[in-house]
Structure 1
Amino acid sequence: MSFLLAWLPWLVVSILSIYLLDLLAHSRRRLPPGPRPLPLIGSLHLLGDQPHRSLAHLAKIHGPLMSLRLGSVTTVVVSSPDIAREFMQKHDAIFAARYVNDAAGHHAKNSVPWLPNAPRWRSLRKIMATELFAPHRLDALQGLRSDKVRELAEHVSRLARDGVAVDIGRVAFTTSLNLLSRTIFSKDLTSLDDHGGSKDFQVLVAEIMEHLGLPNVSDFWPALAWADLQGQRRLMARLFARLHVVFDAEVDGRLREREDGEPRKESDDFLDVLLDVAGRDGGKAGLDRDTLRSLFTDLFVAGSDTSSSTVEWAMAELLRDPSSMAKAHEELARVVGSTRSVEESDIDMLPYLQAVVKETFRLHPPAPLLLPRQAQETIRITGFKVPQGSRVLVNVWAMGRDEVTWPEPDKFMPERFLGRTVDYKGGDFELIPFGAGRRVCPGMSLATRMVHLVLATLLNRFEWRLPVEVEGTCIEMGEKFGLTLTKAAPLCAKAAPI
């Protein structure tokens, strides 16, 4: 004890010295303004369990370009469309590198969203753009997706006849999952009636998204990353391995079919396309088994989670706003009618439905802070220095709640998008739920088709109301933060056929 007491003053002096030197360095480096960091932890104590909201509050104090020291890491936060344009358009090349969360581990080495801005990333990105998400590829598989939304309507009809409330998030997730699996593997991975199987997959995906977004000692003090003190990297490896078992079985089965000379389908699915590309170039594209696992993991985890979450948030907002719900019903009745199913070709003729989706993206962006970027060199932006190696977070949640850009920003008001062209695919920085620049989400085109189709089907075939025990009370709109922003309490509603 006496030994520890003897060293205590020196420890205190050392900590204070580091703290004061850090403050001095901050002022000399001309970093963007931000909260004064505490010794060792920096500003970690200010984040709380809703970092997107905490950072939005801090931006109102320190400005739309803000810096924080999180642990030992300099982090720059962007919270306005004009500043986002500086980073993601004017200086896009400098900020095209990703910061890879330590928990992503081995998966990130072959993952298009996480790979560095290098030839391998560009090669895989080109394959996805030309072979997977090209309009003609997506158009060729419309029939498969139409089958899935018809099954969704039939399932909801059965629940309506039985007087059972619909878990919107679960049915949207299962439908999105099977829309993806039909597009990729030409088969379903689960069923709307299989509550166990689809729920297990949904829980697994939710765990992956949650843990990828959780605060991790390894990310804030990289010198300690080797120890994996919180065990996040080991946990994520186990979660990814559970998905890889499913994907390996599909790839192995398809390879056996080819070896046995079984006839090909009329229209190739994504797996056939990828195997053909891998076979044509003799492995130059880098489509080995690890890369296929990572590619499918990205497609299924991001695609099913973000699409279903957007549908659930949209339905929650419409149930809270009967006027908007009535307008969406009226438009669908006029354009589609209840005698046929909604087709993807109908979406262009449904401007109010499109406005509902845009307003949902504004209020509930799938990834509130996008994926973190990293400065590849030191650069000065709006008079402040962003140092090489600093991490960059783009708070699209804060940008969607900015009263300068959006009058009455907390109000759900799809009408704000009628008669106003807003490109949410990376062209207009007021609304960038999928990011922008060269790191914009590559699966955006498929995701937006799925969201519009599923939401339109639910609204076109059914009237919706809250269960009796919920009517008269407010819908719980709490958020669960992770890499994506999901609804904390599941939305359950009663359907009645129109």
Structure 2
Amino acid sequence: MADRLYYGTRDMVFAPYGERWRQLRRVCVSHLRTQRRVLRFGAVREQEAAALLGRVRGTAGAVVNLSDLLVAFSSAVISRATFGDAGYGLDGGANGGWAKLRKVFGEFEELLGTVPMAEMVPWLWLVDVVTGLERKARRTSEEIDRLLERVIADHRRRRRGGARRVGDGEEDCRDFVDVLQDLSEAEEEVGGVQLDTVAIKATILDMLVAGTDTTYTLLEWVIAELINYPARMRKLQDEIRAAVVGDHVTEDDLPKLPYLKAVIKETLRLHPPGPLLLPRETLEDTELQGYHVPARTRVVINTWAIGRDAATWGEHAEEFMQERFAADGEAEYHRMGADFRFLPFGGGRRGCPGVEFAVPANELALASLLYHFDWEVPVPVAGGGRPWTTAGSLVDMSEVNGLSVRLKRPLLLVAQPWPA
């Protein structure tokens, strides 16, 4: 299915190990995820965080579907970094275009986690046709391909019209598509690997699917866990409200929030965005704890189980206890992947290269939501003036399984402005 949806695995995530994969990863790390480029999109993150707060304020005192707003925020940040300010329907605009595309990407992820019958028993390929899997895969890939074609065509048209963006300096205003097209025209910069249109589309798809889903899923789980532990939420709010000098949270405030970082890391331990990571493949015959593992064996790593292993995390491994990260003072995210007890974004050569890009957006959104609002869960009541109450309510933590593990039900909350 990955071969089908990712243009024959022309992307970086599913490409087989080799020279091409090494060069694609180098492009991503050296040109798209550099510290300078992360800082370059700081204004985008702050603008979208402000837009998120505006949407919440519009529903203050009433029940708000925070899950939908978090999807809009993460979609807008990723799409603006990837496509530019045009957004191409992935922004959180009033036309609701992001909702339709979110549905398409949801189907995309569902398909990625599906094993076609034709892969297991090739002569039963007709089963995929009868069940509709073949039709769904074709429709989803075509819809996403149309979006990517439109994005690339628009960027090329702008460049031909003399509006080509230049960069690599202090005023670098290129989005990711601009950077990829610049590299496509300078083959020597990517080690002789040609970044053609298909490779560009596959690389963009990696960013959209991985960046959007992991961001909103993490934000959702953090809020849910904090509401179920109100004392810890108040402690975090006190930290944020004491650290922020102005009337809103900025990225300059984030280094002063160690408790926030500990909360995020503990949430990643219990609810990793990709519970089974991406499949690996052994390069050679291997002996592992008395088992013979042949070369080219597909290996699935259960990071969800690793993060809840009582032998590593103690008898309270299933409980939300962010103090386990705050106590040792380790607040930096770049160490994730180096410690094999804690692998929310994988590790080694196949570890996620976009962690440093995602972290500021996650921290800024969470700090802003917790700084400006107090959050409660509404519970319906019969009769009376107001149809719900918020006294002592908890979030239902039931999960829906898939390529990523999310809350089964939307996060329906009441936001009370602070100060009142």
Shorter-chain TM range is: 0.7 to 0.9
Q: Write out aligned runs for 1:263-274 (5 A).
A: 264=165, 266=171, 267-274=173-180
Is it true that 1:351 corresponds to 2:258 in the alignment?
A: yes
Q: Write out aligned runs for 1:63-74 (5 A).
A: none
The one-letter code matched in structure 2 to 1:375 is T
Compared with structure 1, are the counterparts of its residues 273 and 178 closer, same or farther at alpha carbon in structure 2 (3 Å cutoff)?
same
Compared with structure 1, are the counterparts of its residues 143 and 280 closer, same or farther at alpha carbon in structure 2 (3 Å cutoff)?
same
Q: Write out aligned runs for 1:382-401 (5 A).
A: 382-401=289-308
5+ residue gaps, structure 2? 381-388
SS of the residue 2:110 aligns to: helix
Distance 2:14 2:139 in 1: 19
The one-letter code matched in structure 2 to 1:288 is D
2:181 to 271, 275, 289: 275
Q: Deviations over 1:83-114 (max 9, x none)?
A: xxxxxxxxxxxxxxxxxx46745534212110
Is it true that 1:158 corresponds to 2:58 in the alignment?
A: yes
Tell me the residue number matched to 2:25. Answer: 125
Is it true that 1:443 corresponds to 2:344 in the alignment?
A: no
Maintained 8 Å contact 1:103/1:232: no
2:145 to 244, 252, 265: 244
1:142 to 42, 53, 67: 42
Deviation at 1:278, TM superposition (A): 1.0
Q: Write out aligned runs for 1:70-469 (5 A).
A: 101=1, 104-160=4-60, 163-187=61-85, 188=87, 189-192=89-92, 194=94, 196-221=96-121, 228=128, 232=133, 234-262=135-163, 264=165, 266=171, 267-281=173-187, 284-337=192-245, 339-343=247-251, 345-407=252-314, 408-420=316-328, 421=330, 425-469=336-380
Distance 2:163 2:376 in 1: 49
Maintained 8 Å contact 2:79/2:91: no
Tell me the residue number matched to 1:14. Answer: none
The one-letter code matched in structure 2 to 1:342 is T
Distance 1:103 1:114 in 2: 8
The one-letter code matched in structure 1 to 2:397 is M
SS of the residue 2:295 aligns to: coil
Deviation at 1:425, TM superposition (A): 2.4
Compared with structure 1, are the counterparts of its residues 102 and 262 closer, same or farther at alpha carbon in structure 2 (3 Å cutoff)?
closer
Maintained 8 Å contact 1:218/1:228: yes
449-458 vs 175-184, which moves further: 449-458
What's the TM-score once normalised by structure 1's chain length? 0.74
Maintained 8 Å contact 1:210/1:481: no
SS of the residue 1:494 aligns to: strand
The one-letter code matched in structure 2 to 1:257 is R
What's the TM-score once normalised by structure 2's chain length? 0.87
Distance 1:231 1:375 in 2: 33
Distance 2:5 2:147 in 1: 20
Maintained 8 Å contact 1:133/1:445: yes
Compared with structure 1, are the counterparts of its residues 219 and 444 closer, same or farther at alpha carbon in structure 2 (3 Å cutoff)?
farther
Q: Deviations over 1:312-336 (max 9, x none)?
A: 0111111111011101101101111
Q: How many pairs are equivalent?
A: 395
Distance 1:467 1:195 in 2: 28
Higher Cα Rg: structure 1 or 2?
1
Maintained 8 Å contact 1:102/1:219: no
Deviation at 1:300, TM superposition (A): 0.8
Distance 2:72 2:396 in 1: 22
5+ residue gaps, structure 1? 1-100
Q: Deviations over 1:323-379 (max 9, x none)?
A: 111011011011115612332x33222111111111111111111111111222211
State the identity %. Answer: 33
Q: Deviations over 1:171-203 (max 9, x none)?
A: 111111111121122213345453732222222
The one-letter code matched in structure 1 to 2:325 is F
Maintained 8 Å contact 2:38/2:357: yes
Maintained 8 Å contact 1:378/1:387: yes
Distance 2:221 2:120 in 1: 31
